[in-house]
Structure 1
């Protein structure tokens, strides 16, 4: 299980303190550890050594007991005489071979005996798919599979330490001008939903404007005329400093015209991709909210990790570049909303009502980020939901396979649906802190339909019996059946061919020929069955599971409910109409060339 709850601010403070007492040393191999330990002991007491490797590169992160030890290391460190380097002093170093003639120790002599040196070794990356499937097959139940997936995917201690050390490197670069500057991680690195190898989001918090009416000494300072222009210029300068001065930093990119100007770069020594912004306090508070919700119930994070993994496997989120598909953040909010409907998590409005004066938080832009931060003061629900992880996963697929995205918006603030503020938006998830914003503004109608379709497919694959399914002789079972590597029934293959087409110019293209071909027969009970476009319905879904949709709390999924209705009458010759239900339809524009090819094919 996870560690006991520590409030977000205390966790951030503890991690920043660890980083201030740490150095990162590149070594030849793991056998260098005893020599490095003995050498660094003269700078102060060593609290812990953390070894990791990536490819042919080996590193040891050393945490001292005092920050003075790090200062001593930086004073005693040296630069190479053989290369014209920029003489930067940073906590990122490498351990060169001793010039003195000494007898080489064998590997057997270098074995760390238990308790002799405080030492740990952890991986930076997730297990590969083959190893992960093996771990899932060896589990006893589906719930065990979900916990195994979570425990082997979540960001570990060394991953967190390296992210805060990367932030520390940025702080040290700028602390001469801003003595109290803070580079605060936010997002997946700190919200407790981060996985191994996740990106690092950083927000630079500059010094507060000091106002002391009793002081007659006033700092000379430049005037900031336009905030956005000033921020863009500052980030441009910071990007140049990172590129020119900081060891290990490469591939610096400036994205200054975004709503929040950012600088992207890679830290090659900690193997982390970073996004740096400034004064993004709302994002930090959003991370705190997700962190808090993850600790309210132990089932929250395993369910979030499983849903994210499933979404990647079915290629709902399987793209490194922004586009019209759903993001992990949006998926997390969907899981949280579902758990609110299951009476497992409270609404944000409830957390705001139970907040005390010490919880007041308002950003510089006036965004109210006040909510209860002490979980010991959170009232417990009268009736507790005791469903297993597997049961909750099944309910999640059921819930969103029938969700009315066409007319309803998701609000974790209220814990219930509301009418969409923007009816034209394919999906609307209200930003919990900036309530006028739509988290899924990037999504189009095709991707919204795909979410429901894949949820239906998962629900049929992950049947009622799978909840209580235990280990057997099947090669893959439970969660492993949801992977894209498994052979799917004909109906699912049709959907895969129709909607998982290659990307072109960042957009998924629908194959017009396949839209108008007769589809597969009803060969598999419980799966979506497609008929020709002239049929009364475009698909059916058979299930005995009851649905807790917003409009009817105990209604069965209709046997004639359309998974994706296709209307070919009275439409633009260059478009195909795809709808989530009979009453809502949207046009997806297709290239005229595709339509011409279809006509030509008919003539032939």
Structure 2
């Protein structure tokens, strides 16, 4: 949430599909699309603060209901029935993974929701379950068949099948027919991003949990964070929720002597703030922001956080738990235009530069800090050090192992080689970003066996040579059948030598084989 609030410049992504291991995570990090497409003659964009966006979404959820229906044709009757008791603003239709039909109804006010629930909701006598107060209901058939409800002809569904995911094959063809890599990146984002209805449903889920927890805890709120609200979300992505304790000055009056007990699991040490040994989306997001702060020939995209801290006013002061200072400029309309968006490169060039930047970055000696916008010396010997922008004494990537840091370097290097080929303007059946994300076996295998770019292909048998003789590297002209035969041969060699220690020509080839084995591709 911090990154969106800090750089609320209509955050978007390079692209994301959610089905492709490490490179997909790198590409899922946010980037400012409005800056790329903005010309200096364009009018200045009016920015909306992150807190305002969250407040609007929460207000939408409080005046909305989700109703399970028989089909999208239930719209007329549902609208006619509910509009008798309250004013309806919009109705959105979607289907879940089980192809069940639902409609999200947004009313004009919160009171409208209360009026509808009071006049229309009921319980089932013939079902032995405990009903709960909830904004999620279902619309049953009318008892009196003669009673008909309808809506004006001018009223239509706002959207039908609002969260239907794009078909992979259709998306592949669309990307194949794009003119440039930049168009591929933009199109992939537009076709897979978390849309308005997807965001609404996430806030409805948060609303449901909030109603449940309020019966257990005092003064709490539940809201989404991460990709669901920072512009990085894709259709079908998971939902991260945070339960916050909202305490006003009145609630914390020291003259009140009866004090509520505190969340037991944290006090007992049952929860842990540390993730696994893999890099996560938050560090990757910081890596993207850090890259965009680097000055290049055509300028830079984002300023260091220090610029926003220095420009903060009294209204921007925020002190979080444990006295963490979260103060920085929140109204980006006060930020001069020359402080951001000076870069004129297209998405293709920027994405290539992102991979090249981290392929050459000295992770052994330097740390990443968006506060300063320049590499700083690492305070310890951890493999990867990315400074927490709000608590600069903390490394948000301290969990990342040495092996995963090496894999990071390997993957960004390989991605840079692939995108560099795209600059030549050649188009095949897997050109541009398709080489990075395509997972079909025939193309995926070629990519995994590729060491470098097109003139760095090696023979499968060379991976398992036990001598240190130099092997000439030449461009491969093998067909798919020959490559499949080589894969089978490699698998046979694996079985025959499973008790032997395989010697590799160099560490680079060893890393490639280790990656292939770990991913169980071969």
Closer, same or farther: CA 211–34 of 1 in aligned 2, 3 Å: closer
Selected match of 2:134 from 71, 90, 99: 90
Selected match of 1:388 from 346, 353, 357: 346
Selected match of 2:259 from 212, 222, 241: 222
**How far apart, in 2, do the equivalents of 1:491 and 1:206 lie?**
49
**How far apart, in 1, do the equivalents of 2:399 and 2:502 lie?**
23
Secondary structure of 1:48's counterpart equals strand
* 1:232 CA displacement: 3.0
Q: 2:248 aligned with 1:205, yes or no?
A: no
Secondary structure of 1:196's counterpart equals coil
**How far apart, in 2, do the equivalents of 1:360 and 1:436 lie?**
20
**How far apart, in 2, do the equivalents of 1:89 and 1:490 lie?**
55
* 1:336 CA displacement: 1.0
* 1:491 CA displacement: 8.5
Selected match of 2:85 from 43, 48, 72: 43
- Which structure exhibits the higher relative contact order, with contacts defined as CA atoms closer than 8 Å and separated by 6 or more residues? 2
**How far apart, in 1, do the equivalents of 2:266 and 2:355 lie?**
45
- For normalisation by structure 2, the TM-score amounts to 0.72
Closer, same or farther: CA 452–150 of 1 in aligned 2, 3 Å: same
**How far apart, in 1, do the equivalents of 2:316 and 2:55 lie?**
17
1:426-449: CA deviation from partner (whole Å, max 9, x where unpaired): 111111112222222222222222
Q: 2:397 aligned with 1:355, yes or no?
A: no
Q: Is the 8 A contact 1:50 1:158 kept in 2?
A: yes
* 1:257 CA displacement: 2.3
Closer, same or farther: CA 481–10 of 1 in aligned 2, 3 Å: same
Q: 2:264 aligned with 1:232, yes or no?
A: yes
**How far apart, in 2, do the equivalents of 1:156 and 1:128 lie?**
16
Q: 2:47 aligned with 1:5, yes or no?
A: yes
**How far apart, in 2, do the equivalents of 1:354 and 1:515 lie?**
61
Q: Is the 8 A contact 2:91 2:104 kept in 1?
A: yes
**How far apart, in 1, do the equivalents of 2:258 and 2:69 lie?**
44
Match of 2:335 in 1: 378
Match of 1:480 in 2: 434
Q: 2:474 aligned with 1:523, yes or no?
A: yes
Selected match of 1:70 from 99, 106, 113: 113
Q: 2:249 aligned with 1:325, yes or no?
A: no
Match of 1:463 in 2: 420
Closer, same or farther: CA 223–576 of 1 in aligned 2, 3 Å: farther
Q: Is the 8 A contact 1:494 1:520 kept in 2?
A: no
Closer, same or farther: CA 103–211 of 1 in aligned 2, 3 Å: closer
**How far apart, in 2, do the equivalents of 1:59 and 1:46 lie?**
16
Selected match of 1:493 from 445, 449, 458: 449
**How far apart, in 2, do the equivalents of 1:435 and 1:145 lie?**
37
1:270-349 equivalent positions in 2, closer than 5 A: 323-342=276-295, 343-349=300-306
* 1:4 CA displacement: 5.8
**How far apart, in 2, do the equivalents of 1:429 and 1:79 lie?**
53
**How far apart, in 1, do the equivalents of 2:249 and 2:420 lie?**
61
Q: 2:141 aligned with 1:61, yes or no?
A: no
Q: 2:375 aligned with 1:417, yes or no?
A: yes
Q: Is the 8 A contact 1:469 1:478 kept in 2?
A: no
- Ranges in structure 1 where 5+ consecutive residues have no aligned partner: 225-229, 237-254, 261-321, 497-512, 526-572, 581-585, 590-604
**How far apart, in 2, do the equivalents of 1:38 and 1:62 lie?**
12
- Ranges in structure 2 where 5+ consecutive residues have no aligned partner: 1-32, 35-44, 453-462, 477-500, 515-522
* 1:102 CA displacement: 4.7
Q: Is the 8 A contact 2:222 2:242 kept in 1?
A: yes
Selected match of 1:405 from 333, 340, 363: 363
Q: Is the 8 A contact 1:142 1:468 kept in 2?
A: no
Secondary structure of 1:43's counterpart equals coil
Secondary structure of 1:368's counterpart equals coil
**How far apart, in 2, do the equivalents of 1:393 and 1:86 lie?**
52
Aligned residues: CA RMSD: 3.8
Task: Give the strand-richer structure, 1 or 2.
Answer: 1
**How far apart, in 1, do the equivalents of 2:135 and 2:267 lie?**
23
1:139-150 equivalent positions in 2, closer than 5 A: 139-150=178-189
* 1:118 CA displacement: 5.0
Q: How many residues align?
A: 428
Selected match of 1:439 from 374, 396, 401: 396
